[in-house]
Chains A and B, each alone.
Chain A
């Protein structure tokens, strides 16, 4: 039966090729546009660390001076060094790390034979040791440093796969020395390809930034005065000789903690509140206790990581799809009403209402299938267009297998939906009336 309906559909398409092409094109454009934007949204709103995003928490404390911000507002985005070091010492989570971003001149310490390589700037992360096990970073060579290295401000570094490629041609570089900002550090590990999307653990340096090229223990970076890049927010009169000092009234450190399970969040938050109360009792905090503890998902949501333009594009595309579908419904309806006499003959020859209904749905579905394939092509073209976009997230816009499947399925569903009303109208045709008017 299906093949017979398909044959009928093909005949009908051949009779009005322009109208058919118009419907296919409308479906293809609508599907292409919505799938392009949906794919971008899907990529950008992805879970950067699946399986752990509900038990990795970002800590915010309010250590500001009394007059520096209105009461009842969000605490500063980052924490002060004093608080970060205190929490790190307390070790109340399964794992915890304090960190900040940097940008530092790098060159191999032993000059290679081919002459002197000019130093270049590499993005860096200065962090305590738990960063690597906490965020499940994959290692190609070597290992991470440990807490003793942190305590000793050991001159060690972990480098990214890209930096290893650039400096050592991808060979195992562990044990080699690297000149970082004028100081020699020993490479202990090389990361494998790792790029969490979004760059959740530090959104300040770019929400979809690439992974840092160089990782150095926080203590070492401070001791060697490696260049720190990021947001620094000070309060009070803000004038301290060293804004990175332990007691400086400045927030510039990101603090992450991993808890054994999501349910540990409440006790941990209580610990943060106790810490705040103690700090106020000691005279360090001046404002009421104001702490935040958000897991990765909540943190990304709160910081509105997915660009609003991307959301807007998605809604625009769905609006466009709605117009395209309305268009298709109208054209299908016009087409099937024009064939009232044909339907009358088929009904008179014994076709049931269901058969007519099925026939017209098959016709709509055929349009949807062709439109879907064409729409997929348009979506691929659209994504290519998105990748030409200057935004940092643009290059991430790639279609994956589930999105491919969703594209084809949604085109089919949309066209069947569009076919419902015309098919229903078609099966309402009264054969006697049609035959009489012939």
Chain B
């Protein structure tokens, strides 16, 4: 099809054409970035944590007054929990992914370093902590029963060392890029610890918000007043086991209040609620933008059809088929949309630059370009179809007579 007549017509409607191009460009720039933000959030929300998410329960108890023997009570609690039907494993720990508590520490390679080598999430896991979380050990061995300490001991005794620690794969690779990390020595709180095991993956307590993604695990058991209980149960009877566990704990010692009782999935849902909300909002805005733009195209195209009634009649009388008239308007829209897309893509990269500085987002991946272009082309073609068909349906005689 010859596009020269289209150009010469458009030249006579510069302002209107420019406006439609501008609208498409703005929509294109905003929608590409919004789609990118949506994809980025969805990816973050579905990032694996390394734990058995659909089998975990969380219970946190808070003493209502000062209690002395909380370590002894913790032992009792854990024994009771492990004996409950449906409970596969239970452990006390200071933090877990998506929990409210988060603790971090510096890892050093030497005793006296001017600054820590890296900051890592500091996991204190009590006995059978790894098994409870469902974290997979990929190298080395699990902690032995003799290696476990109490959090109160570790905090109060300046001399007490933590001889064995575990890292996750990412942290091990970062600290020892070119040799196996197993058996190597690191320093925590200026005291040496040996790496005895590497786990596949354990997310920090605040994934996506943590200062770092690095993790170090030590065999230390917090008491119930310092940490939380996690239970690994049969996923089908989570609710029932949770109720039974809370009842059993309350029966053991009533001088404390159950401040948290929830399934891990609920915790995860709550943690990402804000992100889900934002994603829904972005989707809504994208749809609204596309609809408004489509209506803009419909409005302007209808006007053009009306204005060019005489031209259409002349062309039809001179032998142009309905298909050619239809094609004319479709091609015109395609041209305008393409110009809009080109300008919009440049704008999209501009916006992306700003987002990169303010929101620590990665660069807009190039796949967004063809997707954005395809969406807008399709939108333009669909929007213009109605007015174009009306134009093609105009009988030449009526048109010529009316002129």
Chain A residues with CB under 8 Å of chain B are 19, 22, 26, 29, 33, 66-71, 103, 105, 119-121, 181-182, 225, 227, 236-241, 243, 308-309, 311-313, 316-317, 319-320, 322-324, 326-327, 329-331, 333-335, 337-338, 389-391, 421, 425
Give the interface segment out of B2-10, B112-120, B171-179, B394-402. B112-120
Pull 22 A–B residue pairs with CB atoms less than 8 Å apart, ordered by A: A22-B299, A26-B296, A29-B292, A33-B285, A67-B116, A71-B114, A105-B64, A120-B257, A121-B259, A181-B65, A182-B64, A225-B66, A237-B191, A313-B281, A316-B285, A327-B292, A329-B19, A330-B20, A389-B274, A389-B277, A390-B270, A391-B277
List the B residue with the shortest CB-CB distance to A327: B296
- Select which of B30, B64, B113 is within 8 A of A316 by beta carbon: B30
- Select which of A26, A320, A338 is within 8 A of B30 by beta carbon: A320
Q: Which residues of A contact B189 (CB under 8 A)?
A: 236-239
The reply to whether A320 and B303 form a contact with Cβ atoms under 8 Å apart is no
Q: Which residues of A contact B106 (CB under 8 A)?
A: 68
The reply to whether B19 and A330 form a contact with Cβ atoms under 8 Å apart is yes
Q: How far is the CB of B221 from chain A (nearest CB, A)?
A: 17
Q: Which residues of A contact B22 (CB under 8 A)?
A: 326
Secondary structure type dominating chain B contacts? helix
Q: Does B132 reach chain A (CB closer than 8 Å)?
A: no
CA distance A312 to B65 in the complex (A): 45
CA distance A313 to B284 in the complex (A): 12
List the B residue with the shortest CB-CB distance to A238: B189
Q: Does B69 reach chain A (CB closer than 8 Å)?
A: no
Q: How far is the CB of A237 from chain B (nearest CB, A)?
A: 4
Asked if A333 meets B155 with Cβ closer than 8 Å, knowing A239-B189, A326-B22, the reply is no
Q: Which residues of B contact A239 (CB under 8 A)?
A: 154-158, 160, 189
**Given contact pairs A181-B65, A313-B281, a sample of 12 additional A-B residue pairs in the complex whose CB atoms are under 8 Å apart:** A26-B292, A68-B116, A225-B66, A237-B191, A239-B157, A308-B359, A312-B37, A324-B292, A333-B16, A333-B19, A390-B270, A390-B273
CB-based closest 6 A-B pairs? A182-B65, A334-B303, A105-B64, A330-B19, A327-B296, A390-B273
- Select which of A26, A243, A333, A391 is within 8 A of B15 by beta carbon: A333
The reply to whether A323 and B156 form a contact with Cβ atoms under 8 Å apart is no
Q: Which residues of B contact A322 (CB under 8 A)?
A: 26
Q: How far is the CB of A437 from chain B (nearest CB, A)?
A: 10
Q: Does B23 reach chain A (CB closer than 8 Å)?
A: yes
Q: How far is the CB of B237 from chain A (nearest CB, A)?
A: 28
The reply to whether B278 and A309 form a contact with Cβ atoms under 8 Å apart is yes
List the A residue with the shortest CB-CB distance to B293: A323
CA distance A71 to B116 in the complex (A): 11
Q: How far is the CB of B235 from chain A (nearest CB, A)?
A: 25
Q: How far is the CB of B246 from chain A (nearest CB, A)?
A: 15
The reply to whether B300 and A330 form a contact with Cβ atoms under 8 Å apart is yes
Q: How far is the CB of A389 from chain B (nearest CB, A)?
A: 5
Q: Does B368 reach chain A (CB closer than 8 Å)?
A: no
Asked if A70 meets B66 with Cβ closer than 8 Å, knowing A119-B257, A327-B295, A330-B16, the reply is no
Q: How far is the CB of A287 from chain B (nearest CB, A)?
A: 10
Q: Does B282 reach chain A (CB closer than 8 Å)?
A: yes
Q: Does B358 reach chain A (CB closer than 8 Å)?
A: yes
Asked if A121 meets B26 with Cβ closer than 8 Å, knowing A67-B112, A390-B274, A390-B277, the reply is no
The reply to whether B64 and A119 form a contact with Cβ atoms under 8 Å apart is yes
